[in-house]
Each structure stands twice: as structure tokens, then as C-alpha cells.
């Protein structure tokens, strides 16, 4: 953080235009000016006035005023309405027309109804309000005087529930509405043929890599050979010159000797020559034989070396330079499972099968299919939810202050459960507004606030990191022996613990969580297979979903008494600016092991509904079975629980920290007392002395770094962070707190945002073109500042041609220049719409976070700052409304389209058999 401070100091101009402005300095600004240069903060107005009044300089406020001007000027020229995502308030599009088949007696009800969370939620808010009011009437005689007694009535509320009303299953419409004789069976979902296609692509990728490696190797060998030949030529030349000089000296000496002893030497020479000739003949035979043997040995050694070279695996360094796409394609692909192992045709459904659906799509998935394609994965997940998924154990509806909890009493859909008809009869209305119905509920029946955590500082009990599962099972067994009837949740929890203990002791647990395993890629592992709705990697939808996921998790846990904190990369991103890294595609949180048990007992398989004033998200809590295992084990269950967005399948990984029998890193063992006797078979004792706790992925954290937790705001929502977050991050990320370049992004302190290196590359390359392009009335006709094909090829020279992401890597000189950007530089950078929108949606919150992190960095208490701050509204647009707007659809248009589809099938028109085609195998 000190590096950030210095960066800001360097980048702040010594003088900027002075103007009259009400001071609005935050602590970060004050710190900089007080320490480094405060002479220009207050300047007498003697040049313009006779008063002794002073003006204050606030460069950031002036900058923000310019940014607002840029936005307004862009809006004037904006014919495509590109800036509608800036308004994240849920204040419009909340009022829906009720479909006419609910009140028109002449119109028969359809088999299917379009999904819209606003319609579902508003009907259930109405229904819960009615049920609570009825309970209140029935209990008038007892005259409940306490709020808690009335709130407890929500636990007696039971509502009908069918997944069809809560998830968009429109991908199944064609199959469900088709005549029985034309409906496909499970074979249409078989991915065997797709597996062959991906295998061929894998082979092509292997050949591609082999060709690249061979070409590179040949080029390197040719260069090496040329260098060796050059060195040899120089050595031969030098040797030849020395030999020539030697021969000349010998010839001269020989002539002198011959002149002096001509006659005598001639006779002697003749005799010696005869003798030497005979010896030479003998010697010439032996060396020649030796040379031949040596040559044969060399040939054998060279052949052996070549064979050994061919056996060597690809060079590791070269392998690491493959693109992500190549790496994904090169991974081993497991065989797909036959559809008969996880799917039943309509004719195979038993007569007792009851899911409140008269019609089925022809195929009915009852368990995870293994690897498949993205498109088939979407259909498979929806088929499971339509035909076989059990209902949630309960539903929790979140509010600003607390929550409502209801149970399930049937699987009836809105089309069959009479709630819409009752609403129309009671209100005489043909419209319904989700916010109005929610407002009536919260006004008439206050939400449960008994478990809400509002403390600024929360001390975690050390005992919360150690749970005796055997003792819990024993206590439940005693209750059952004494005739105590367990609740459904207690019974499921009890059975889960018993099964966990058994499996851990007998061969190890199987994998609990099933992801959307896609052919040719591991990106599907970021989605739960049941709710998978397509790949969102790198899209706006992914950003919107992740933002809502973390907000909903923090809201749910805080309002229901579950201790949790953000961890790993999520904690690091909070440190920098309070929001997620733009390149992140996952979220990590941790809980003490005791709170994992609380989560499993009270909330496992629960559906969590977002506060409708924030959005319409629905999230599923899924806790793993094997709670008793606190070591890594076979590595199949490093994640303890997940918080899943049911619209996309994206999730938050939840891991528990516990006192375990896992050996800690050596730097912890060095802290053990000298008289402590280590036991290689019992590391739990050492961990207890050291007060360190770990998850099943062997991440250790000292208790003194964790507790007490401090209240903060994450992505605009209240949450908690560990006391010594900087210690934890420094241990986990060596340069995480100081490196402002990562994952092709650069942190710009003045924006408090991570900006793509590619954008900064183009901005520095030709700022004039950048400005012209992003201020043009019509960018399609404007001259692009991006590299041409020829320029890209030139930039690729000497680099792996499949690694475009490295084309824009900035040099140290460029990074130094960026670190000195002033506000004028930043203003021009913001001319690009994507950067402008990112700044405008986050500036209020990141400014708050900047103030908070500076206080924490200097050891100041932030209680006053946090406790007086209200919730920030969501920083990102509501995902469902975003999708609706992009698809140019409304609830009314979806109803009309579904009616037309129904009429089409009923008309008896012949059509081609259903075929699921894949244009993109997720590669």
C-alpha cells in the first residue's frame, strides 16, 4: 500500500488549476498532501479578491466533474443507448401483466409458461403475506405480544414449489410440446460421436504442437551448427598459418644443415630413410585399425544418443509456452458415459413418477452424465431439474434487515397451484408488481432479525475450529433411543454424519460435487452441472453474476448468523479496491468448521432469494456429505460446500478451517516449544499448540491472524475480513500486496481500477488516434487505432504465434510512464466506453474503500466509518433484466411466442427430426 501511496504522490502534479470548491478530501488525499507537499493546498485569493478567504484544491473532484462532462457529451451523441447499465436501481420493469389464461374462462391453460423471476417471486410474496395474515387471525385469541412470536410463524408457512417456476427451462419447450411420435429419446443427448470429434481436434492440436516444436528445434540446431562452423573455420585458419610458419622454419634450417654436411648427411639420410620406411609401414597399419574401431564406436554412441533424444519428453519450457487453447485440447479426455446410464425415455418412467408435469421431453435425466458438449450440457441439466430434482429443504427470502423462512408442501406449479387465481380474486387486478407485493409483506409482517450479525468486531471462539462428529452422532442416537422425533433437517444431518464417518474409515469418500464436465476444456468445472446454462467466460454476464453471488452470500450469512469471511483471491482483490479482479472467474470464502456444521444442519439444500430491491437472484446452498474428513484424504473433496447461482450454475467455493491431523508447513513447526515431542502420526496436537487451522486443501491460517473478524464492505455489501488480512495475503501471495501488474492488467491508482494492458498499449502507441476514435460520432467510420494484420505479424516475430495475449505486454519504460499519468492523461484514457463505464459504476464505492484501506494500513480503527455507512446499491446491472434487454424480450412477448410455438405443434405440420448441433465444442 505504501508503494501505491508513492505512486499516487509521483503522479500528482505539483500545481494544477486552482478554483473555488468546497473541500471534499478523503484521508488518502490528506495523507499525501500533509506528508509531501501542502504549500499549494491553500492559496490566498489576493489576485482576485481583497478578502483573506482561501480556496482548496481537490484535483479528484475536478477530475470527476470532467468525467461527468464526458458522459453527458457521449449521451448526446449516443443513438444506441449504450449507457443504460449505469442505473442499477430496480425501480422500473417491476410491473407485469398477468397472463390472460389465469382469468379468462374462455382460454384454456397451456402446458407451459414462460419463466420470469418477477412473476414467480411477486406471486409468492403475495402468498406468504396472505398466509402470515391468516396465521395472525387464527392466533388472535392468544394475543401474541412479542415480535419474536409472530416471526416464528414464518417457520410454519409451507408453500407449493416446482423447479419449473424458478428456472428458465425454455430450452426444453420444443421437446415437451412436440407430438409423442416425434419426441426424441435419450440417444439425442449421447456425446459419443462428439467425443470422437474432440479427440480428432486433440490429435490435430498434438500435431500442431509437434510441428511447432520440430520447426523451433530445427531452427535452433541450424543456428548452433552455423556458430560451430564459424568457430571451426577460424581455428582451422589459425592452425594453417601456424603450420605454414613452422614448415618455413624447418625448410630454412634444413637447407643450412645440408650445405654444411652435404656428403655426410646424404649417406646417413639414405640409411635412415630405408630404416624409417620399414617402420612406417608397420605403424600405418595399427593406427588405421584403431581409427576404424573408434569410428564404429562413435557411430554406436551417436545412434544411442539419437534414440535417447527421441525418448525425451517435449522441452518443459517450450511446453509452458503453449496457448491455453492448446493446453486444453492436449488434456486427456475421459470417455463419455452411455446415455442409458443417466437417462430414461418417456416410456421408461414409472407410473408412480410424479413431478406435476403431464408432458415430458422424451428424455429424462436422473443423474450426472459425465463429459458432454456445452449445448447438450444445458439440455441435460434442465431435463434433470424438470423431471427428477428434489425440491429445496426450505426457502429463505432476504430483506434489507432480515429474512423469511418457509418450507415446501407440494410440487404444484403456478399453473396448477391456484395462487395467481387467488391473487386476481382478492385484488381484482390483472397486473402484479414485485416491489409492491414485497413492500406489503415487509410492512405487515417484519422479517426475522434475531440472528443478524451487526458487530464491527467479532471474536471467533477457538472451540469453533474443532468439532467431534462421533460425539454428535452419539447424542442423536441417544435422542432416538429415548423416542425423540428428529426434524427432517436433523435426520438428514444425522444420516450424513454417520455415512461420512463410515466412508472415511472404509476406503475413503467418493467425489461429492459434480461440475459441468465439458469435452475438450476444464472451463465447465466452474459451473454446477444441474444449473449449467452455457459458458460465460469473459462475458459481461459473468461479471454481473459473480457480483451478485458474493453480495447474496454475505447478505444471507450475516442475516442468519453464519460466521464467514472472504479468502484467497477474493480477499486480495478486496484489498486493492474492494471489488473483484476483472479476470477472476470464481469466488472463495471460508468458515470455521462449527459454522459449516450449522450450515449443513440448518441450511443444506436451501434456496436463498435475493432482496428484490437489489435484484431477482436465487441461490442454492449445497453442503458436501463428508463433514468428518478434515484432511485432504484422496483429494476428491477439497471443497466443503457451494453457494450456487441457479440461473447460470456459477458458484462460490466454501471451505472450512479446522483443527486437523494434517502436517503443517515447516515454518510453523519451527515455532513449537523446545520440549514439545512431535508425533508423526498425530499432528493435531502440534496444530493445537500452534493454534493453526487448515482447510482440506492444506491452506493453514493462525488463529491470531483470523480473529477477531472486522466488519467491512465487499462489492458494496457488508461482510467480514480477518483481523490480520495483510499477514494472510503476504503468506499466500508473495508480491500480491505490491505488484500492480497482473494477468495482463495494470492497476491505475487514480481510477482505483485494473486496466487491460492492451488498452494501455494502444493508448501509449498513438494517443491522438485513441482520442479521435473514441470521440467520433460514428466509430464504424472512424480510423481504428488497433494494429493492422501486418503490424501484428511483425510484433509476433520471434514469439509463439498462438500467444496473442503476450503481444501487448508492456515494457518497464511504458509502465514507468503510466505511473506518472496525471489527471489529464487519465481523462483521455476514459474516453473508451468500457473504461468509462467501469469507473462510473465503481467510483463512489472504491473511493470509500480507499478511505477504509488507508485507515487500516495506518493501524486506525474503521468502526465509525463502517457503522455509519449504509449499504451501497449493487454496482452491476441486474443479470436477468440485462439478458431480457439484450434479447429484446418482455414477459408478454415470451407468452406470445410460447403460444405460437404451441399452435405450431398442434397444427400437425411435419418437420425434420430434432438434432442438437454443435458449432463450438467449448474449445
Please spell the DSSP secondary structure of 338-407, one letter per residue. PGGGTEEEGGGS-TT--SS-S---SEEE-S---SB-HHHHHHHHHHHHHHTPPPPSEEEEE-SS-EEEEE
Do 516 and 451 lie in one domain? The reply is: no
On whether the CB atoms of residues 22 and 767 are closer than 8 A, the answer is: no
Do 48 and 150 lie in one domain? The reply is: no
Phi and psi at 884, nearest 5°, equal: -60, -45
Partner residues linked to 622 by β-bridges: 642
Greatest mean pLDDT range, 200-209, 289-298, 856-865: 856-865
Tell me the C-alpha to C-alpha distance, in Å, between residue 354 and each of 387, 408, 488, 760: 9, 16, 21, 58
Residues 21 and 42: their CA atoms lie apart, in Å, by: 11
The pLDDT assigned to 210 comes to 63
Residue 881 lies in a domain: no
- Answering whether pTM is above 0.75, one says yes
Residues 385 and 369: their CA atoms lie apart, in Å, by: 14
The pLDDT assigned to 140 comes to 73
Provide mean pLDDT across the span 158-180: 96
Do 543 and 688 lie in one domain? The reply is: yes
Provide mean pLDDT across the span 601-620: 98
Do 663 and 572 lie in one domain? The reply is: yes
Residue 394 lies in a domain: yes
Per-residue pLDDT at 907 exceeds 90: no
Residue keyed to cell 432469494: 609
Per-residue pLDDT at 615 exceeds 80: yes
Cis peptide before 708 (omega within 30 of 0): yes
Per-residue pLDDT at 310 exceeds 50: no
| Edge-to-edge strand ranges of the sheet holding 651-657 | 158-160, 403-410, 394-398, 606-609, 618-623, 641-645, 651-657, 587-592, 565-566
Residue 649's domain comprises 458-732
| List of E strands, 250-351 | 343-345
Residue 573 lies in a domain: yes
The pLDDT assigned to 46 comes to 37
Greatest mean pLDDT range, 26-35, 220-229, 383-392, 670-679: 383-392
Segment 728-763, tens digit of pLDDT: 999 999 999 999 999 999 999 999 999 999 999 999
Q: Other C-beta atoms within 10 Å of 813: how many?
A: 9
Do 474 and 547 lie in one domain? The reply is: yes
Do 518 and 573 lie in one domain? The reply is: yes
Length of the chain: 923
Q: Quick one: pLDDT band at residue 274, thresholds 50, 70, 90?
A: low
Task: Considering only residues 201 and 523, tell me which one the structure prediction assigns the higher pLDDT.
Answer: 523
The pLDDT assigned to 307 comes to 45
Tell me the C-alpha to C-alpha distance, in Å, between residue 227 and each of 215, 218, 224, 230, 231: 19, 14, 5, 5, 6
- Sequence-distant (≥ 6) Cβ neighbours of residue 16 within 8 angstroms: 57, 59, 62, 823
Look at residues 533, 237, 491, 498 and name the one whose alpha carbon lies nearest to residue 385: 533
Residue 305 lies in a domain: no
Sign of the alpha-carbon torsion through 29, 33, 34, 39:
negative
On whether the CB atoms of residues 720 and 880 are closer than 8 A, the answer is: no
The pLDDT assigned to 68 comes to 95
The pLDDT assigned to 799 comes to 57
Q: Quick one: pLDDT band at residue 534, thresholds 50, 70, 90?
A: very high
Provide mean pLDDT across the span 482-502: 96
- Grid cell locating 640: 466443503
**Cα–Cα–Cα angle for 35, 39, 44, nearest 5°?**
145
Segment 769-807, tens digit of pLDDT: 999 999 988 777 667 888 888 887 777 765 554 455 567
Sign of the alpha-carbon torsion through 440, 445, 451, 455:
positive
Do 411 and 488 lie in one domain? The reply is: no
- Grid cell locating 526: 466452474
Do 364 and 497 lie in one domain? The reply is: no
- Mean pLDDT lowest among 135-144, 532-541, 896-905: 135-144
% of the chain beyond a pLDDT of 90: 65
Partner residues linked to 403 by β-bridges: 398, 448
Greatest mean pLDDT range, 219-228, 629-638, 707-716, 772-781: 707-716
Do 477 and 452 lie in one domain? The reply is: no
Look at residues 590, 537, 544, 585 and name the one whose alpha carbon lies nearest to residue 566: 590
Percentages of the chain per state (helix, strand, coil), in multiples of 5? 50, 10, 40
The pLDDT assigned to 651 comes to 98
Do 449 and 479 lie in one domain? The reply is: no
Phi and psi at 566, nearest 5°, equal: -75, 150
Per-residue pLDDT at 308 exceeds 60: no
Per-residue pLDDT at 921 exceeds 50: no
Partner residues linked to 404 by β-bridges: 397
Query: Under DSSP, is residue 209 helix (H, G, I), strand (E, B) or coil?
Result: helix
Residues 826 and 128: their CA atoms lie apart, in Å, by: 51
Per-residue pLDDT at 826 exceeds 70: yes
Average of per-residue pLDDT values in the chain: 84
Partner residues linked to 607 by β-bridges: 395, 620
Residue 92 lies in a domain: no
Segment 617-629, tens digit of pLDDT: 999 999 999 999 9
Segment 243-272, tens digit of pLDDT: 877 777 777 777 777 666 666 665 565 555
Per-residue pLDDT at 288 exceeds 50: no
Tell me the C-alpha to C-alpha distance, in Å, between residue 533 and each of 5, 113, 379, 526, 875: 43, 19, 8, 12, 24
Per-residue pLDDT at 541 exceeds 70: yes
Instruction: Write down which residue in 702, 732, 762 finishes a domain.
Output: 732
The pLDDT assigned to 237 comes to 82
Q: Quick one: pLDDT band at residue 277, thresholds 50, 70, 90?
A: low
- Grid cell locating 342: 443417466
The pLDDT assigned to 790 comes to 81
Provide mean pLDDT across the span 126-143: 85
Residue 48 lies in a domain: yes
The pLDDT assigned to 562 comes to 98
Per-residue pLDDT at 15 exceeds 80: no
Provide mean pLDDT across the span 564-588: 96
The pLDDT assigned to 207 comes to 58
Residues 744 and 755: their CA atoms lie apart, in Å, by: 9
% of the chain beyond a pLDDT of 70: 78
Do 436 and 463 lie in one domain? The reply is: no
Residues 782 and 771: their CA atoms lie apart, in Å, by: 11
The pLDDT assigned to 240 comes to 82
Provide mean pLDDT across the span 371-390: 96
Tell me the C-alpha to C-alpha distance, in Å, between residue 309 and each of 213, 227, 304: 14, 22, 9
Do 496 and 514 lie in one domain? The reply is: yes
Look at residues 825, 849, 819 and name the one whose alpha carbon lies nearest to residue 8: 819
Integer-rounded Cα radius of gyration of the chain:
37
Task: Considering only residues 44 and 676, tell me which one the structure prediction assigns the higher pLDDT.
Answer: 676
What's the start-to-end Cα distance of the chain, in Å?
39
Query: Under DSSP, is residue 574 helix (H, G, I), strand (E, B) or coil?
Result: helix
Instruction: Write down which residue in 689, 705, 732 finishes a domain.
Output: 732
**Cα–Cα–Cα angle for 759, 765, 768, nearest 5°?**
95
Q: Quick one: pLDDT band at residue 178, thresholds 50, 70, 90?
A: very high
The pLDDT assigned to 384 comes to 98
Provide mean pLDDT across the span 703-728: 97
Per-residue pLDDT at 899 exceeds 90: yes
Residues 852 and 405: their CA atoms lie apart, in Å, by: 34
Residues 644 and 641: their CA atoms lie apart, in Å, by: 10
- Sequence-distant (≥ 6) Cβ neighbours of residue 218 within 8 angstroms: none
Residue 260 lies in a domain: no
Per-residue pLDDT at 145 exceeds 60: no
The pLDDT assigned to 717 comes to 97
Residue 606 lies in a domain: yes
Segment 423-457, tens digit of pLDDT: 999 999 999 999 999 999 999 999 999 999 999 99
Instruction: Write down which residue in 64, 85, 102 finishes a domain.
Output: 64
Provide mean pLDDT across the span 908-922: 57
Q: Considering its fold, how many domains does the chain have in total?
A: 3
Amino acid at each position: 500500500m505504501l508503494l501505491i501511496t508513492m505512486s499516487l504522490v509521483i503522479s500528482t502534479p505539483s500545481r494544477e488549476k486552482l478554483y473555488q470548491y468546497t473541500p471534499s478530501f478523503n484521508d488518502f488525499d490528506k495523507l499525501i498532501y500533509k506528508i509531501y507537499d501542502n504549500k499549494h493546498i491553500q492559496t490566498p485569493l489576493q489576485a482576485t479578491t481583497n478578502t483573506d478567504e482561501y480556496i482548496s484544491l481537490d484535483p479528484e473532484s475536478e477530475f470527476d466533474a470532467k468525467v461527468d462532462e464526458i458522459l453527458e457529451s457521449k449521451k448526446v451523441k449516443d443513438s444506441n443507448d449504450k449507457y443504460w447499465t449505469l442505473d442499477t436501481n430496480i425501480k422500473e420493469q417491476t410491473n407485469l401483466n398477468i397472463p390472460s389464461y389465469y382469468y379468462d374462462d374462455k382460454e384454456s391453460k397451456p402446458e407451459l409458461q414462460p419463466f420470469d423471476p418477477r412473476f414467480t417471486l411477486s406471486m409468492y410474496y403475495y402468498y406468504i403475506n396472505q398466509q402470515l395474515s391468516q396465521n395472525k387471525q387464527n392466533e388472535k385469541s392468544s394475543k401474541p405480544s412479542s415480535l419474536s412470536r409472530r416471526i416464528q410463524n414464518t417457520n410454519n408457512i409451507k408453500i407449493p414449489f416446482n423447479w419449473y417456476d424458478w428456472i428458465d427451462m425454455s430450452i426444453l419447450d420444443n421437446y415437451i410440446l412436440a407430438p409423442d411420435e416425434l419426441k426424441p429419446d435419450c440417444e439425442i443427448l449421447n456425446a459419443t460421436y462428439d467425443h470422437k470429434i474432440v479427440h480428432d481436434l486433440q490429435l490435430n492440436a498434438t500435431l500442431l504442437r509437434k510441428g511447432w516444436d520440430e520447426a523451433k528445434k530445427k531452427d535452433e540446431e541450424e543456428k548452433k551448427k552455423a556458430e560451430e562452423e564459424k568457430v571451426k573455420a577460424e581455428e582451422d585458419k589459425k592452425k594453417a598459418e601456424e603450420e605454414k610458419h613452422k614448415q618455413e622454419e624447418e625448410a630454412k634450417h634444413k637447407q643450412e644443415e645440408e650445405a654444411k654436411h652435404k656428403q655426410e648427411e646424404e649417406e646417413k639420410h639414405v640409411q635412415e630413410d630405408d630404416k624409417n620406411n620399414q617402420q612406417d609401414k608397420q605403424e600405418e597399419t595399427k593406427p588405421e585399425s584403431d581409427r576404424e574401431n573408434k569410428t564404429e564406436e562413435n557411430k554406436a554412441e551417436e545412434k544411442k544418443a539419437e534414440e535417447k533424444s527421441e525418448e525425451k519428453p517435449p522441452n518443459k519450457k517450450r511446453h509452458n509456452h503453449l496457448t491455453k487453447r492448446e493446453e486444453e485440447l492436449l488434456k486427456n479426455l475421459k470417455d463419455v458415459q452411455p446415455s442409458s446410464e443417466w437417462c430414461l425415455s418417456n416410456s421408461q418412467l414409472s407410473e408412480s413418477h410424479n413431478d406435476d408435469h403431464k408432458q415430458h421431453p422424451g428424455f429424462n435425466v436422473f443423474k450426472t452424465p459425465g463429459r458432454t458438449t456445452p449445448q447438450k450440457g444445458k439440455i441435460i441439466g434442465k431435463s434433470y431439474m424438470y423431471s427428477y430434482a428434489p425440491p429445496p429443504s426450505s426457502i429463505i427470502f432476504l430483506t434489507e434487515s432480515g429474512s423469511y423462512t418457509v418450507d415446501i408442501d407440494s410440487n404444484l406449479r403456478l399453473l396448477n397451484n391456484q395462487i395467481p387465481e387467488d391473487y386476481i380474486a382478492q385484488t381484482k387486478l390483472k397486473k402484479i408488481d414485485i416491489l409492491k407485493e414485497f413492500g406489503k409483506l415487509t410492512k405487515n409482517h417484519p422479517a426475522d432479525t434475531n440472528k443478524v450479525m451487526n458487530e464491527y468486531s467479532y471474536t471467533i471462539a477457538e472451540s469453533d475450529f474443532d468439532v467431534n462428529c462421533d460425539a454428535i452422532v452419539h447424542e442423536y442416537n441417544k435422542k432416538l433411543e429415548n423416542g425423540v422425533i428428529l426434524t427432517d433437517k436433523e435426520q438428514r444431518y444425522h444420516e450424513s454424519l454417520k455415512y461420512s464417518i463410515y466412508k472415511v474409515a472404509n476406503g475413503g469418500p467418493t467425489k461429492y460435487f459434480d461440475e459441468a464436465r465439458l469435452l475438450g476444456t476444464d472451463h465447465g468445472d466452474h459451473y454446477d452441472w444441474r444449473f449449467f446454462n452455457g459458458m460465460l467466460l469473459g462475458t459481461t454476464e459473468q461479471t454481473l453474476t459473480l457480483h451478485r453471488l458474493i453480495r447474496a452470500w454475505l447478505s444471507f450469512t450475516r442475516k442468519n448468523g453464519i460466521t464467514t469471511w472472504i479468502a484467497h483471491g477474493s480477499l486480495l482483490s478486496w484489498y486493492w479496491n474492494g471489488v473483484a479482479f476483472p479476470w477472476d472467474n470464481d469466488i472463495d470464502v471460508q468458515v470455521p468448521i462449527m459454522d459449516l456444521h450449522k450450515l449443513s444442519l440448518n441450511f443444506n439444500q436451501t434456496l436463498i432469494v435475493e432482496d428484490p430491491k437489489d435484484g431477482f437472484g436465487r441461490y442454492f446452498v449445497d453442503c458436501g456429505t463428508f463433514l468428518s474428513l478434515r484432511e485432504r484424504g484422496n483429494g476428491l473433496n477439497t471443497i466443503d460446500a457451494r453457494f450456487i447461482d441457479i440461473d447460470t450454475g456459477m458458484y462460490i467455493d466454501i471451505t472450512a478451517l479446522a483443527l486437523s491431523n494434517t502436517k503443517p508447513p515447516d515454518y510453523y513447526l519451527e515455532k513449537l516449544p523446545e520440549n514439545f515431542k512431535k508425533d508423526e502420526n498425530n499432528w493435531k496436537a502440534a496444530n493445537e499448540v500452534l493454534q493453526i487451522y487448515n482447510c482440506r486443501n492444506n491452506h493453514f491460517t493462525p488463529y491470531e491472524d483470523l480473529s477477531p473478524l472486522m466488519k467491512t464492505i465487499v462489492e458494496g455489501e457488508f461482510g467480514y475480513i480477518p483481523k490480520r488480512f495483510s499477514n494472510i495475503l503476504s503468506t499466500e501471495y508473495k508480491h500480491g500486496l505490491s505488484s500492480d501488474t497482473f494477468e495482463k492488467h495494470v492497476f491505475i491508482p487514480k481510477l482505483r481500477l485494473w486496466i487491460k494492458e492492451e488498452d494501455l498499449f494502444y493508448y501509449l502507441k498513438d494517443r491522438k488516434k485513441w482520442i479521435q476514435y473514441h470521440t467520433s460520432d460514428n466509430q464504424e467510420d472512424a480510423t481504428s487505432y488497433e494494429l493492422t494484420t501486418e503490424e501484428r505479424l511483425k510484433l509476433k516475430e520471434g514469439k509463439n504465434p498462438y500467444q496473442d495475449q503476450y503481444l501487448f505486454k508492456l515494457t518497464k519504460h511504458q509502465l514507468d510512464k503510466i505511473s506518472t499519468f496525471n489527471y489529464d492523461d487519465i481523462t483521455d484514457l476514459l474516453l473508451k466506453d468500457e473504461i468509462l463505464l467501469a469507473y462510473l459504476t465503481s467510483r463512489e464505492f472504491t473511493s470509500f474503500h480507499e478511505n477504509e484501506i488507508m485507515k487500516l494500513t495506518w493501524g486506525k480503527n474503521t468502526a465509525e466509518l463502517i457503522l455509519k455507512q449504509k449499504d451501497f446499491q449493487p454496482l452491476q446491472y441486474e443479470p436477468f433484466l440485462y439478458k431480457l434487454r439484450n434479447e429484446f424480450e418482455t414477459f408478454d412477448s415470451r407468452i406470445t411466442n410460447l403460444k405460437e410455438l404451441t399452435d405450431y405443434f398442434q397444427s400437425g405440420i411435419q418437420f425434420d427430426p430434432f438434432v442438437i448441433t454443435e458449432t463450438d465444442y467449448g474449445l
